[in-house]
Amino acid sequence: MSASTEDLMDFDAALERYDPALGLEVHVELNTATKMFCGCPATFGGEPNSQVCPTCLGLPGAMPAVNAKAVESAIRIGLALNCEIAEWCRFARKNYFYPDMPKNFQTSQYDEPIAFDGYLDVDVEGETFRVEIERAHMEEDTGKSTHVGGATGRIHGAEYSLVDYNRAGIPLIEIVTRPITGAGEKAPAVARAYVAQLRDLIVALGVSEARMDQGNLRADVNLSLAPKGSERLGTRSETKNVNSFRSVERAVRFEVSRHAARLEAGLSVVQETRHFHEDSGITTSGREKSDAEDYRYFPEPDLVPVAPSREWVEELRATLPENPTAKRARLQTTWGFTDLEMRDTVGAGAFGLVEQTVAAGAAPQAARKWWVAELARRAKDAGVELAEVGVTPAQVAEVQGLVDAGTINDKLARQVFDGLLAGEGTPAEIVEARGLAIVSDDGALGAAVDNAIAANPDVAQKIRDGKHAAAGALIGAVMKEMRGQADAGRVRELVLEKLA
């Protein structure tokens, strides 16, 4: 547990001497109505232990029954990742004891995954990088423990734990990459881009809410280093539950530096599970992998094999969304984005958000501007993913609609976003409640213009003398009095009219 004091090597220096090999395991929680093996609701956030039955509670005698929709989602994910779909595969029991696992085995798949041998092409800073997918398989989630006592509410030091099994049995698809080599210094970016673009794909498939902050999408990052030019892979560490795209990138960077420092010091890398800490950006040692981790897999005898017919597979293939790379190229043209704008959009994780915002009625450039500039900044400040910043594409489109209608301007729009993040209601409600609407009523504006003229007789005279450039000072005074909520163009017209 002395990991925080571990030596690190500078990242760039590390990559001069070592080649990183990455492996990513992503768990996707499906959005089916019911759990993987029983008819309990798979929804999030019920009262504790209110969404359970004998099966997902692991009661003696209870039996599993496979959710057809989960199998369908697994196949669609497999197809979208260019995988082969097994003609015949089975569920298997992964045996280990843990209090939040009701049966003390997880019903998963072992050497017969439903999907295998695929790939995902990801865009990394304008280059396409092919990530090979080893497998995607079906399994079930565990319950959730709350730790009581001790200082931090964490597992260590707790006096006891309270377990809620509502989550137990919710369908998961685990997607495992082959070792990703050759990325060099881009390894952290590749890892991030893979997870981000996998998420986009999952969202496009509509099979999961895919929110990392909610745990719908969980990434484990495996990393090993090999001396530059060496063929063999080094010992790997497995960093668990890295909960944002940014954390994926940081976890890779940290592990590269940590492994390199150990290797450089002549120490071996321990094959172990590590935990990533969002606050400090470091990983700490978890449990060592040992032969105690003998999962004793065997085919689940309570279930029969899954043998998707080729007809079914082809039917599902026809439901797939457009290939992401082709789609990005198509929409760049449609939207009229430059290469740089497109790269920034994708890099900010805003591609899907812009698409949805445009679909909700906003102009592409306006959508890009809000997401890539304004909201990306706010997400960064809050330390969350852009998609999880707290504003939806529909809301952004509505805000832009208010700008287009002249109700507010860009500056006021930022206040509307403040209101949205504070949960003050819809954009229109916020404009109303905060009194943000631009005043275009000539009566109110006229009075303000008269006040400004009266307060600045010298300036007024210059304008009467034809020096229209002087109007700026009066306009500024009017805007100040109107607290910014005036249409500056109309104010100028009124000033010039009155002093003609």
**Site residues (CB under 8 A) for other proteins, limited to 113-142:** 142
State the minimum distance, in angstroms, from the CB of residue 72 to other proteins.
9
65 near other proteins, rule: CB under 8 A: yes
41 near other proteins, rule: CB under 8 A: yes
104 near other proteins, rule: CB under 8 A: yes
**Tokens representing 444?**
């109110």
CA 343 distance to own-chain centroid: 17
Parallel/antiparallel/unpaired status of strands 272-276 and 237-242: parallel
**Please, is 371 exposed, middle or buried when counting C-beta atoms within 10 Å of its C-beta (0-12, 13-18, 19+)?**
buried
Site string for other proteins, 176-205 (x = CB under 8 A): ------------------------------
Query: How many of the other CB atoms lie within 10 Å of CB of 102?
Result: 23
Q: Which of 17, 130, 228, 287 binds other proteins (CB under 8 A)?
A: 287
Residue 186 or 275 with smaller CB distance to other proteins: 275
164 near other proteins, rule: CB under 8 A: yes
Q: Which of 13, 99, 227, 489 binds other proteins (CB under 8 A)?
A: 99
Site string for other proteins, 236-275 (x = CB under 8 A): ----xx-------------------------------x-x
CB 40 within 8 A of CB 169: yes
308 near other proteins, rule: CB under 8 A: yes
Query: How many of the other CB atoms lie within 10 Å of CB of 328?
Result: 20
44 near other proteins, rule: CB under 8 A: no
> CB within 8 A of 366, min separation 6: which ones?
400, 403
**Distance (Å, whole) CA 357 – CA 364:** 8
Binding region for other proteins (CB under 8 A) out of 93-101, 197-205, 415-423, 434-442: 93-101
Q: Position of tokens 């209601």?
A: 425
Residues 9-38 close enough to bind other proteins by CB under 8 A: 32-34, 38
Instruction: Write the DSSP symbol of residue 299.
Output: E
Give helix 187-205 / helix 245-264 axis angle, nearest 10°: 150
Parallel/antiparallel/unpaired status of strands 160-164 and 84-85: unpaired
- Interface with other proteins: number of residues (CB under 8 A): 81
Q: Which of 9, 26, 52, 316 binds other proteins (CB under 8 A)?
A: 52
283 near other proteins, rule: CB under 8 A: no
Residue 158 or 473 with smaller CB distance to other proteins: 158
Residues 369-398 close enough to bind other proteins by CB under 8 A: none
State the minimum distance, in angstroms, from the CB of residue 306 to other proteins.
6
CA 251 distance to own-chain centroid: 16
62 near other proteins, rule: CB under 8 A: yes
Residue 112 or 117 with smaller CB distance to other proteins: 112
CB 314 within 8 A of CB 304: no
**Distance (Å, whole) CA 129 – CA 138:** 26
Residue 212 or 438 with smaller CB distance to other proteins: 212
Look at residues 33, 72, 80 and name the one whose alpha carbon lies nearest to residue 200.
80
45 near other proteins, rule: CB under 8 A: no
CB 131 within 8 A of CB 190: yes
